Amino acid sequence: MNLGAIAEVAIGIIFVWIVLSLTIIQIQEWITTLLDKRAHDMEEAIHEMLANPNLKAQFYDHPIIRGLTAKKRRAPSITDPWYYRYPLIRGFTRERRKLPSYIPSQQFALTLFDIAMTAGTESSLIQQGILKLRDDIEKDRNLSPNNAIIVELNLLAELARSAAATEAGTALTQKTLDLLKTEAHQFVDKLKVKYPGLKLEGEMELVIREEIDKALKEAERLKREIDRVVKSQPKADLRTSLGKLRRGVAALSVISPEVNQTMNALLLNVEEYVTTGETNLAKARKGVETWFNDSMDRVSGTFKRYSQTMALLIGLAVALILNVDSIDLTLYLWREPSVRQALAENAAMFELSQQDIADNPAEALQEFRNQFVGLSLPLGWGITNFEAQALADGSCRLFPREEQTFGIRIFTSTRCLVPPQSNNQMNLVLKLGGIFITALAARQGAPFWFDILKRVVNLRGTGANPAEKDGK
């Protein structure tokens, strides 16, 4: 058995698989970015953790989280709402808030603590109602919200956040709360004064007025219930941050019982587990960070399975379109020693680390493609016009017999889709099998096959690359 020839064929096949893998990585990254898949998966995970859509909206609107995106808010537009009603225009112009695709655990813990410490204030409850109104307006396709409305709702939410951050029990607290309620009640009227050219439709104006009034009443109701719950809790030392946090967690039992239960478990006997030089709040924050990291591990696992499935589907599509048939390619390299030897020599002199592949897959793809310059491989499809008699004699058959050739007839025309060097040794089952093998191989990823490539090159007898020897 000629082991050298087998190794050369393997090198050629692996080279093709690496190129296809890098192509899949690029396409997959474009699709993932377009769909914003990572950000939406994280949003769903945080929604499950907080178990309340209002809390989730408050979390994502927090300055710490909002600062993780480079999205800048646009200046309000006063274009008539009817202009944005048409789907084509709305698809190009309607602005959506960009969500972060990555949130560090420290930022998550700090944001959650800040929300929890103000959870018992009426201003925080009003803020949740305003953010819910904003999100509902953006998602409702029956409405045509002007950008100015969204901007002003964001400003009103900022005022609510400032009011919630003031020290409870001071005169300033009541003043800011009264100001917040006044601004909320007069929101529509002041919006019309500030933007004279803005025309609010009757349905939009009615929705805003009703929802703001509903948010204010709901905040008052929840505030009364929270006060009742907090009074029934053991008295906490409000001079410490941990005491304020425990009071806020108790208030969360009204808004989100699931978060309240989780936070209580994380804060249980936290004082007893504090080590030397560590504060109670720092220990509590570490517990929340661990909770977040564990949840993100599950998100990463889900995204990995999604990525593997997408890579397989993209690999099938690319291999089918480009006719990257591993079975046919293997037979061709076995029959053409000059081609496989040229590829083996290129592989022996090829210098590119796995880190380079991971950091810049586009440049790595070009480097690998350069190795095929001047080589003729059985890739791609050709369209051949046949005479009617030739088709009748079997010049284009899915399952050819002797003296017939493999091909895929394009509907009922005389045109036939044929691979390079088509013959009667190929049929539809073998072709689809070879393409499926290619897709499965490409799904493993370029770094995996690059490592295998180096081992096969060494097995062939060329040894390690000189650059690698010098680096050791």
Place of tokens 């953790």: 49
Tell whether the model's pLDDT for residue 317 goes beyond 60.
Answer: yes
Contact 64, 110 (CB under 8 A): yes
Give residue 463's region: left, alpha or beta (phi > 0; psi -120 to 50). left
Tell whether the model's pLDDT for residue 263 goes beyond 90.
Answer: no
Give the residue with greater pLDDT, 23 vs 345.
23
Question: How confident is the model over 224-233, as pLDDT tens digits?
Answer: 898 888 888 7
Please give the pLDDT value at position 145.
58
Q: How confident is the model at residue 268 (pLDDT cuts 50, 70, 90)?
A: confident
Q: How confident is the model at residue 436 (pLDDT cuts 50, 70, 90)?
A: very high
Question: How confident is the model over 41-57, as pLDDT tens digits?
Answer: 998 999 998 888 888 88
Please give the pLDDT value at position 83.
47
Q: How far apart are the first and last CA of the chain?
A: 34
Mean pLDDT of 411-419: 77
Instruction: Tell me the average pLDDT of the chain.
Output: 78
Give the separation between CA 322 and CA 378, rounded to whole angstroms.
10
Tell whether the model's pLDDT for residue 63 goes beyond 50.
Answer: yes
Please give the pLDDT value at position 374.
63
User: In this structure, what is the dihedral angle of CA atoms 100, 103, 107, 111, given to the nearest 10 degrees?
Assistant: 60
Tell whether the model's pLDDT for residue 122 goes beyond 80.
Answer: yes
Please give the pLDDT value at position 434.
92
Tell me the percentage of the chain whose pLDDT exceeds 70. 76
Q: Please state, in angstroms and as integers, the Cα–Cα distance from residue 236 to each residue in 110, 120, 246, 283, following that order.
A: 21, 14, 7, 18
Contact 88, 125 (CB under 8 A): no
Tell whether the model's pLDDT for residue 438 goes beyond 90.
Answer: yes
| Helices and strands (DSSP H and E) totals, the chain | 22, 3
Residues in CB range of 47: below 8 A, 6 or more apart: 53, 56
Tell whether the model's pLDDT for residue 87 goes beyond 50.
Answer: no
pTM of the entire structure? 0.70
What SS3 class is residue 296?
Answer: helix
Mean pLDDT of 269-294: 73
Tell whether the model's pLDDT for residue 381 goes beyond 50.
Answer: yes
Residues in CB range of 198: below 8 A, 6 or more apart: 78, 146, 148, 191, 192
Any idea which of 276-280, 365-369, 383-387, 400-404 has the lowest mean pLDDT? 276-280
Give the residue with greater pLDDT, 180 vs 397.
180
Please give the pLDDT value at position 244.
79
Please give the pLDDT value at position 405.
77
Length of the chain: 472
Contact 12, 329 (CB under 8 A): yes
What SS3 class is residue 417?
Answer: strand
> Phi and psi of 409, rounded to 5°?
-70, 135
Tell whether the model's pLDDT for residue 384 goes beyond 90.
Answer: no
Mean pLDDT of 70-83: 48
Please give the pLDDT value at position 276.
46
Any idea which of 287-296, 367-376, 432-441 has the lowest mean pLDDT? 367-376
Give the separation between CA 302 and CA 285, rounded to whole angstroms.
26
Tell whether the model's pLDDT for residue 238 goes beyond 70.
Answer: no
Give the separation between CA 10 and CA 225, rounded to whole angstroms.
71
Q: Please state, in angstroms and as integers, the Cα–Cα distance from residue 72 to each residue in 56, 151, 187, 193, following that order.
A: 21, 12, 23, 25
What SS3 class is residue 416?
Answer: strand
Give the residue with greater pLDDT, 213 vs 79.
213
Mean pLDDT of 430-452: 89
Report which DSSP code applies to 69. Answer: S
Strand blocks (E) in 232-315 = none
Mean pLDDT of 117-126: 86
Give the separation between CA 300 and CA 308, rounded to whole angstroms.
12
Give the separation between CA 437 and CA 125, rounded to whole angstroms.
57
Give the separation between CA 200 and CA 195, rounded to whole angstroms.
11
Return the ∠ at Cα 68 (arms to 37 and 148), rounded to 5°. Answer: 90
